Each structure stands twice: as C-alpha cells, then as structure tokens.
Amino acid sequence: MRNRLLGSTCLLGAWLVTGCESPPAPTDSDFPPASLPTPAAEGGEASLTASNCNVLAAKAVTASADDGNVPSNTQDDDLATRWSAQGTGVWLQMDLGNVQALTGTTIAWHRGNERQNHFVLSTSQDGVTFTQAYAGDSALNTSAQTTSFSSRNARYVRITVNGNTVNDWSSIAETRACAAAAPPSTSDSGTALPRLPYLQSVKQTSAIVAFRTATPCTPSVRYGEGTNLTSTVSAGVAGTRHAVKLSGLSAGRTYGYVVEACGSRTGLRSFQTSTLSTATRAHFTAMGDFGTGGSAQAKVMAVMAQPAWRSELLLALGDNAYPDGTDAEFQAHLFTPMAGLLREVPMFATPGNHEYVTNQAQPYLDNLYLPANNPAGTERYYSFDWGPVHFLSLDSNCAVGLASADRCTLSAQRAWAEADLAANTRPWTVAFFHHPSWSSGEHGSQLTMRRQFGPLFEKYGVDLVLTGHDHDYERSKPMFGDAMASSTQRGIPYLVVGSGGATLRAFATPQPTWSAERDAAAYGFLDVTVDGGTLVARLITSSNTVRDTLTLKKTLPTAARVQASALEDAEGRDTPPAPVDGPGPRVDSPVPPADTAESVADPEDRFLRP
C-alpha cells in the first residue's frame, strides 16, 4: 500500500446507514445515489496517510468469508474497493510469504467515519497457532489507522472483527502489516561491481553468494528472512573473486541479502532455500547451449524472468559460455546477460564441450561453486535434492573421453552415479548432462552415454533425462535400452533442450519413430513443475508461447519418507567458499562479439587449449 492512499467515493453522509444497511440489506453496500456528487467531482480526491508504518506487501490474503467483495481488494491500493463479510468473528488474514519482524498493522476501514469496529490482531509463524497482539476498537475517522504492538517475528497477520457500533458487518478497504524497520533499498549504490552477485549451491540450511570486486577488499553479506537482515558474514580475507557462504538458514524459506564490498552496496535481492523431503511441490527451469551473449539469448532470458516462469532453480545443460569457455567469456556471455536472474535464482550447471576447449573446463570450475558430493571431491559431477526431486548432474565430456584420467574417468563417475541413485529416497529423479543419449539433430545420439548410464537410469527409476548439445528441441518417446519401451517396460523420456540462444540448426533427416516432438525454429527453455504424483514439463519459447508439453504421472509410495528434520548430510561438501584469486593476472583471448555464429565445429574435433 502506498503511504498516501487515494480518497474513496464511499466517504459520504448518513444516507449509507439508513439506505444500505437498514435490515434486511444483504450487503454492506457503499454505492451512493446517482444524484450525489463524488469527492472527485467536488474538487479533488481526499487523501489518507498511513503513518508510523513501514509497509510490507502480502504475498497472499484470505478470509473466513466474504459477500462477493473479496479479500484481494484490500491489497489493490484502491479505497473504492473492499473486503466485506457479515457476522461476529469473521477474519481477514495476510500471508507475508516468510517470517518478518513486525511492529503493527495499518487498516483503512470502510466507512470508518460512521462506526467503530471491534477487532483483534493476531500473528503466527506457521498459520496454525496464533498469538493475540492487540484487541480494541478503531478510531472514528477515515484515516488509515496504524495499530502498534510489541515487536515479534511472524509470517501471518489475522484481523478478527467482532462487529461494529452499528451492525455486525466487517468491511476493510485496505490493510498492510508494518515492518520493524524500513526494508533495505533494492537499488545498487556506489561503484558497480564488475560481477554482480550470483547464487550457488543453495541448500536447505546454506547458500553461497559469489561476486567480484574491481579492487581487493574484504566484503561482507547481510542476510535474513524476508527483508529483516539480522545476520552478517564476512569473506574473511581480501581479494577480488569472492564466494561467501550464508549459514543457519531454514528449509523452504525466502531470504533477502545485500552485499557490501569496497564501498559499494548491492540492492536487496531474495532467494528461496531448498525445501524439505516432505515437500510435494517443486518448480525448476532448464536450458542448454545458451551462452552467446547475443540477442536470441536475451529474448529467452526476458521471458524466463517473467513472474509466471520464475522458478526456484535453473539447470544449465552445458555450452554455458561460447565459444571456448574462457573466464572472459563466462563474464561476457553468462554472468553479464543473466545477472538479473542469477541474483535470485540459483544455477546448477553441467559442463558442455565448449567449456572443455579451455583446459578441460577449468574456467567453468573456477567460476562456479557447485556441490562436490563424490569421492573425488570434484564439481564435474554431483547430485542434490530439492523437495521431492533428486537431481543427478553428470559430465558427459568425461564419459566420451575429453577429460584426462587425472581429472575424471568414466568408470569412477559411473560407479559413483550408481551408488548415488541406489541411495536416493526422493520420489522423483531427474538426470541432466550435455551430450544427448537420444537425438536426431546434427550430432545425433551419444551411444556411450546411452549404454553406460541408460541401464542405471532404468534400474533405479530415473523419471526424466535432460540434455543439450544439438541446437534444437527434441523429446523422445519413453525409451528403454536401444529402443522404444514396450508395454511391459518402464520407459524414460529423453529431452534435448539446446535452444537457449546458440544458432539453431535444422534437422537434416526425417523425424524418427522414437521422436515424439522436435523443433528447430524456436528458441526457448524448459519449465518443469512437480506437484505430488504429477510432473509437467513445458517448452516455453522466446515469444512466450508453450510449444510442447510432457506430463508424467506416478503413484507415490505410501511409506513414510525421510523425516523433515533430516537435512542433507553433504552441507560441507561444496567448493570451499573463499576468494579464489590466482597468483597473477588472468590472460584471456579477446571475446568474440555477440550475435556472430559460434564455431560450428565441435571442440572435440579441435585442438583443446591447455
């Protein structure tokens, strides 16, 4: 709610008392007779001031009842609308989305100059157990009235109305909760950071905020639930490349954070921690072959940033920084064009063949801070859980022989993958890597990935496999082994989502029978929602249309799953968060301009630079 509220056409004389609420009127109507002028017609809009309130926006608002004047009317900044319900004890409830430090509530009562309302304010952290914060009567005026109470942490605010001095109607035009302090600014201040904050390895109880500064300094990050930034953590040592770990978080909550570094301060941004194993819902996006810095990537990002598609996490399916995966190309083609998204949505990546051009993807490993929950302690392959979904990230470059044995081997990765899948307890499993097991695009199917890992996916119940490499979109039918699954086999759909921004390549051959859907004309990304026993994956194009939809259904086991208190045991197995400045200046080749065709030749057919 704005601190200055616009005047309502309902603040008129006593005709309302005798006309609209004389028994047996069914509603608390505020419509004046047509012959009476509105305040605007009398020379302007009246204004009300919500004083002594640092306004918080509600994420949702509900009520015990209404007469057709719905609860959302109290959040629309329009005093001509309202929530109304009849009866003693009816209530209106605001959900702030996360726990906040509250000191009161401001309410603009409908027809507040004609009657005093008897009301109770209660707060709750879980929406189940409420504690009374205030009980009293409203003032006899039309102002937005701020009622203060002792500071407390709460997510929900409930206004219970026990009638008024005229009748038993409850009518509220506008209401907001009041924060203990004004929220931090969302605008950056000071010298712009050469790399803005980006989220990495977000888990149930921790998250990493990475960024870069132009000069060496020892930055800090302030963070907390919602806008209440009560915790501060320092990078510890000076440097220009920083990765600061936020600890002591709670699962499934929204946290805000601000980076303070070298005299600069970033604006408030927020993210959600991973949800518990008992959660039934998850929302993630995925795309590959996007890191060009060009106009097609920008159009995809513009759609992905829209509220309808803003997910909890992003899977990057490889070829994240064209053409050679250098440090400078990561900056120009990933972190700069995707800065707005990566400040609030954690990215979990897998390396592509273009990353392997430079020192077997070493800049990829230097720029990202991913889980390393495997015996080798490498970020090249890893797994993590997010609510009901177990994610498995594999390095297909390693599997096809692009990595030297001292960095990664197929046998070690496969052995770890089998042990990881065997230990998984989440009801849904999604595997992702770069080279596709099934593709009718230019590169075709990668048989090593299919035959080395396909049997594991089938044995341990992987539900969906996401890949890139071919610059198109393709969805297979349910596959088993080297063919379509029979009626007695549990098949797995394999998707190629290589349409994130690199030049699309037309299919050169007719669509094979195993291919359910394919498209080489539209750039886009995959949007995936999980809700109980249903998974829905949709290809969203850069023109904001749904090009393809896949729906998977399964009966979830009735046996109790992992207890909500059992957090993942790999919290400490991320890349150690600290500045990772090298001993000397980093030298990179010039970055090719955006919107120039990246190398058509596969890097595995080219000389790999050391």
- Condensed to tens digits (0 to 9), the pLDDT of residues 110-123 reads 999 999 999 999 99
- Token digits of residue 567: 């957090």
Q: Same domain, yes or no, for 207 and 287?
A: no
Residue 560 lies in a domain: no
Mean pLDDT on 64-91 = 94
Strand partners, 467: 496
Q: Are 165 and 202 contained in the same domain? A: no
Domain membership of residue 398 (yes or no) is yes
Res. 20: pLDDT tops 60: no
Do residues 269 and 280 share a domain? no
In a domain, 321, yes or no: yes
The CATH number given to whatever domain includes residue 250 is: 2.60.40.10
If pLDDT is split at 50, 70 and 90, which confidence band does 14 have? very low
Q: 172 and 283 share a domain?
A: no
Average pLDDT, the chain: 87
Q: Which of 553, 584, 602 is a domain's end point? A: 553
Rounded to an integer, what distance in angstroms lies between the CA atom of residue 387 and that of residue 284? 11
How many domains does the chain divide into? 3
Query: Do residues 426 and 531 both lie within one domain?
Result: yes
Identify whether residues 237 and 341 lie together within a single domain.
no
Q: How confident is the model over 597-606, as a mean pLDDT? A: 49
Sequence-ordered alpha helix ranges (H) in 59-151: none
Cα–Cα distance list, 354 to 263, 346, 363, 395, 505 (Å):
36, 22, 11, 13, 17
Same-domain pairing of 446 and 540: yes
Residues 392 and 443 in one domain: yes
Q: Give which of 367, 366, 396 is closest to 381, Cα–Cα.
A: 396
Give the span between the Cα atoms of 560 and 519, in whole angstroms: 41
Q: How far apart are CA 58 and CA 96, in angstroms?
A: 4
Same domain for 208 and 174: no
What's the pLDDT score for residue 563? 41
Give the domain extent around 9: 4-179
DSSP 74: G
Of 514, 535, 553, the one marking the end of a domain is 553
- Report how far residue 460's alpha carbon sits from residue 416's, in angstroms, rounded to the nearest whole number: 13
Q: Residues 284, 269: one domain? A: no
Which domain CATH number covers 335?
3.60.21.10
Q: Give the C-alpha separation, 322 to 330, whole Å.
A: 8
User: Is 415 part of a structural domain of the chain?
Assistant: yes
d(CA 503, CA 497): 13
Identify the CATH number of the domain in which residue 119 sits: 2.60.120.260
In a domain, 358, yes or no: yes
Q: How many residues does the chain have?
A: 610
Residues 198, 331 within the same domain: no
Q: What are the tokens at 365?
A: 């490993």
Is 540 contained in some domain?
A: yes
State the DSSP H helix or E strand holding residue 348, giving kind and residue range, or none if neither: strand 347-349
Is there a single domain that holds both residue 546 and residue 494? Answer: yes
Residue 593 lies inside a defined structural domain of this protein:
no
Report pLDDT digits (tens) over 390-445: 999 999 999 999 999 999 999 999 999 999 999 999 999 999 999 999 999 999 99
Indicate if the pLDDT at residue 577 is higher than 90: no
- The answer to whether residue 609 sits within a structural domain is no
Of 179, 210, 233, the residue that ends a domain is: 179
